[in-house]
Structure 1
Amino acid sequence: MDLARTEVTARKRRTGSAARLGLMALPVAFFGLFFAYPVAAIVERGLHADGVWQLGRLGEVLADPGIRHVLWFTTWQALASTALTLAIALPGAYVFARFDFPGKQVLRAVVTVPFVLPTVVVGTAFLAVVGRGGLLDELWGVRLDTTVWAILLAHVFFNYAVVVRTVGGLWGQLDPRQEEAARMLGASRLAAWRTVTLPALGPAVAAAALMVFLFTFTSFGVVQILGGPTFSTLEVEIYRQTTEIFDLTTAAVLTLVQFAAVGAILAVHAWTVRRRETALKLVDASVTAARPRGAGQWALLAGVLVTVAVLLVLPLAVLVQRSLDAPDFGYFKALTREDGGAFLVPPIEAIGNSLEYAAAATAFAVLIGGLAAAALTRRDAGRLVRGFDALLMLPLGVSAVTVGFGFLIALDEPPLDLRASWLLVPLAQALVGVPFVVRTMLPVLRAVDARLREAAAVLGASPWRVWREVDLPMVRRALLVAAGFAFAVSLGEFGATVFIARADNPTLPVAVAKLLGRPGDLNYGQAMALSTILMLVCAVALLILERLRTDRTGEF
Structure 2
Amino acid sequence: MAITVPPTALAIAFIVTPVAMLVAQAVSIDAITATLSDSRTWRVIWFTTFQALISTIATVAIGLVPGLVIARSNFRGRQFVLSLFAAVFVMPTVVMAAGVRALLPGDPAGLLPIVVAHTMFNLAIVIRGIAAAPVPVELEQAATVLGARPLDVAQTITLPLLRPTLVGLTAVVFALCFTSFGVVRILGSASSTTLEVEIWRETIILGRIDRGVVLAVIQLVMLAIGIGVWIVTRRRSDAFQSGSRQPISLRGRLVVAGSCLLVSAPIIALIQGSFRVNGSISTSGWRNLLSNSIRPGLRLGFDPVQAILVSLVTATFATAFALTLAVLIVAAVASSPTIGRVVDGVAMLPLGISAVTLGLGLLITFDVPPFDWRASSLMTPLGHALIATPFVVRPVVGALATMNRQQVDAAATLGARPIRSLADSIIPVVTVPLLSGAGLAVAISLGEFGATSMLSRSGGETLPIVIERLLTRTGGDFRARAYGLSLILASATMGIVIALETVANRKQR
* Residues 203 and 439 of structure 1, relative CA distance in 2, 3 Å threshold: farther
Within 5 A, what are the aligned runs for 1:186-335?
Answer: 187-276=148-237, 279=239, 282-283=240-241, 288-292=244-248, 297-309=249-261, 311-325=262-276, 329-335=283-289
- The 8 Å contact of residues 319 and 528 in structure 1, kept in 2 or not, is answered as yes
The SS at the match of 1:496 is: helix
- Give 1:376 deviation, angstroms: 6.3
2:500 is aligned to: 545
Residue aligning to 2:119: 156
1:90 and 1:369 map into 2 onto residues whose CA distance is 35
Q: In the alignment, what sits opposite 1:400? A: 355
Identity %: 36
Cα deviation digits, residues 396-443 of structure 1 (max 9, x gap): 342423433443443244443434543322211011111222333343
Q: How far 1:371 sits from its partner (Å)? A: 4.1
> Contact (CA 8 Å) 1:115, 1:161: kept in 2 or not?
yes
Name the counterpart of 2:17.
Answer: 37
Pick from 105, 119, 128: which aligns with 1:165? 128
Partners of 2:421 and 2:167 in 1: how far apart? 38
Cα 1:74–1:387, aligned 2, differ >3 Å: closer, same or farther? farther
- Equivalents in 2 of 1:509, 1:230: separation in Å? 24
SS of 2:276 mapped into structure 1: coil
Residues 374 and 442, structure 1, Cα contact 8 Å, conserved in 2: no
**Among candidates 304, 321, 335, match of residue 347 of structure 1:** 304
CA distance in 2, matches of 1:438, 1:149: 37
Residue 424 (1) aligns with residue 379 (2): yes
Quick one: structure 1 residues 367 and 175, their matched pair in 2 at CA, closer, same or farther if it must change by over 3 Å? farther
Q: What is the CA distance between 1:226 and its match in structure 2? A: 0.7
Query: How far apart are the structure 2 equivalents of 1:274 and 1:381?
Result: 22
Q: Is the 8 A contact 1:74 1:233 kept in 2?
A: yes
Deviation at 1:77, TM superposition (A): 1.6
Question: Which of 24, 48, 52 in structure 2 is aligned with 1:74?
Answer: 48
Does the CA contact (< 8 Å) of 1:214 and 1:397 recur in 2?
A: no
Given the two structures, how large is their TM-score scaled by the length of structure 2?
A: 0.88
Q: Unaligned regions of 5+ residues in structure 1, if any?
A: 1-17, 48-52, 131-135, 138-142
Q: CA deviation at 1:381?
A: 7.5
Query: Which runs of structure 2 are paired with 1:134-153 in the superposition (5 Å)?
Result: 136-137=105-106, 145-153=108-116
Q: Give me the whole-angstrom Cα distance separating, in 2, the residues matched to 1:114 and 1:448.
A: 32
Q: What CA deviation, in whole Å up to 9, does each residue of 1:21-52 have, x standing for no partner? A: x54x444433432234344445555x5xxxxx
Output the TM-score relative to the length of structure 1: 0.81
SS in 2 for 1:348: helix
CA RMSD after TM alignment: 3.1
Contact 1:262/1:394 (<8 A) preserved: no
Task: From 422, 425, 429, give the equivalent of 1:474.
Answer: 429
Contact 2:334 2:422 in 1 (8 A): no
SS of structure 2 residue aligned to 1:474: helix
CA distance in 1, matches of 2:166, 2:321: 32
CA contact (8 A) 1:418 1:424 kept: yes
Whether the 8 Å contact between 1:263 and 1:394 is mirrored in structure 2 is no
TM-aligned CA deviation for residue 265 of structure 1: 2.4
What is the rounded CA distance, in whole Å, between the counterparts of 1:375 and 1:97 in structure 2?
Answer: 38
Aligned-partner Cα distance in 2 for 1:215–1:373: 29
Is 1:336 aligned to residue 297 of structure 2?
A: no
Q: 1:110 — aligned with what?
A: 84
Give me the whole-angstrom Cα distance separating, in 2, the residues matched to 1:375 and 1:84.
43
Amino acid at match of 2:111: V
Equivalent runs, 1:427-466 vs 2, <5 Å = 427-466=382-421
Equivalent pair of 1:74/1:232 in contact (CA under 8 Å): yes
| 3-state SS, counterpart of residue 258 of structure 2 | helix
Please name the residue that 1:97 is paired with: 71
- Which AA in structure 2 matches 1:315? P
Query: Kindly tell me: are residues 183 and 457 of structure 1, through their superposed partners in 2, closer, same or farther at Cα, counting changes over 3 Å?
Result: farther
Structure 1 residues 454 and 127, CA, compared in 2 at 3 Å: closer, same or farther?
A: same
The CA deviation string for residues 226-257 of structure 1, in whole angstroms up to 9 with x for no partner, is: 11212111101111111222222221211111
Residue 241 of structure 2 aligns with an amino acid whose one-letter code is V
1:550 is paired with a residue of what secondary structure?
helix
Question: 2: CA distance between counterparts of 1:552 and 1:168?
Answer: 20
Distance 1:233 1:484, change over 3 A: same
Partners of 1:289 and 1:165 in 2: how far apart? 15
Question: What is the deviation of 1:395?
Answer: 2.0
Residue type matched to 1:290 in 2? Q
Distance 2:62 2:417 in 1: 51
Where 2:371 maps in the other structure, the secondary structure is coil
Q: Which amino acid aligns with 1:394?
A: L
| Structure 2 counterpart of 1:332, one-letter code | W
Q: Matches of 2:466 and 2:144 in 1, distance apart?
A: 57
Residue 549 of structure 1 deviates from its aligned partner by 1.7
Contact 2:90 2:444 in 1 (8 A): yes
* Aligned residue type for 2:12: G
Aligned to 1:508: 463
Kindly provide the CA deviation profile for residues 192-250 of structure 1, in whole angstroms up to 9, marking residues without a partner as x.
44444444433332222222111111000101111121211110111111122222222
Residue 491 of structure 1 aligns with which residue?
446
How many pairs were matched up?
502
Structure 2: which amino acid aligns with 1:158? F
Matched position secondary structure for 1:418: coil
Q: How far apart, CA to CA, are the structure 2 residues paired with 1:184 and 1:381?
A: 51
Q: Which residue type is aligned with residue 298 of structure 1?
A: L
Q: 2:490 aligns with which of 535, 550, 554?
A: 535
Q: In structure 2, what is the Cα distance between the partners aligned to 1:385 and 1:78?
A: 36
Letter in 1 for 2:232: W
**Conserved in 2, the CA contact under 8 Å of 1:221 and 1:495?**
yes
Structure 2 residue matching 1:205: 3-state secondary structure: helix
Letter of the structure 2 residue corresponding to residue 359 of structure 1: T
Q: Structure 2: which 5+ residue stretches go unaligned?
A: none
CA distance in structure 2 between the aligned counterparts of 1:247 and 1:419, rounded to whole angstroms: 16
1:369 maps onto 2:326 in alignment: yes
Q: Is the 8 A contact 2:292 2:300 kept in 1?
A: no
C-alpha distance in 1, partners of 2:258/2:145? 34
